[in-house]
């Protein structure tokens, strides 16, 4: 059997690049959506930020410190950061999957 390590490495790198491209695309889509909410449905945006648990104080600080930056970009980056924090926290508290059948209920 051939050694597929170089090809596997190539596939892994390709997958990482595709994920990065997709993440950038999703970020751009979210920026457009947030901008639309800012212009047309501010109450819905506030509810969304509350539900996602974006820090109001952090948002105010960033908006104040970066007046030249589009607010939708700042809000989007905070949303993404908060979601990544939630994922990281969930993973750290994920129960082990290697529990023996005897120890399972």
For residue 91, name the pLDDT band (cuts at 50, 70, 90).
confident
The whole-number average pLDDT for the span 26-31 is 95
pLDDT at residue 2 is higher than 90: no
pLDDT in tens, 50-85: 999 999 999 999 999 999 999 999 999 999 999 989
Q: What angle do CA 78, 30, 77 make, to 5 degrees?
A: 20
3-state secondary structure 41-98: CHHHHHHHHHHHCCCHHHHHHHHHHCCCCCHHHHHHHHHHHHHHHHHHHHHHCCCCCC
Global pTM reads: 0.75
């Amino acid at each position: 059997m051939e050694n597929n390590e170089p090809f596997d490495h190539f596939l892994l790198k390709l997958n990482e690049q595709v994920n990065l491209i997709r993440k950038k695309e999703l970020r751009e889509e979210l920026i457009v959506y947030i901008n639309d909410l800012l212009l047309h449905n501010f109450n819905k945006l506030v509810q969304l930020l509350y539900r996602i648990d974006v820090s109001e104080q952090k948002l105010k600080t960033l908006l104040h410190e970066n007046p030249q930056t589009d607010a939708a970009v700042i809000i989007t980056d905070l949303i993404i950061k908060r979601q990544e924090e939630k994922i990281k926290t969930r993973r750290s508290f994920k129960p082990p999957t290697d529990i023996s059948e005897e120890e399972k209920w």
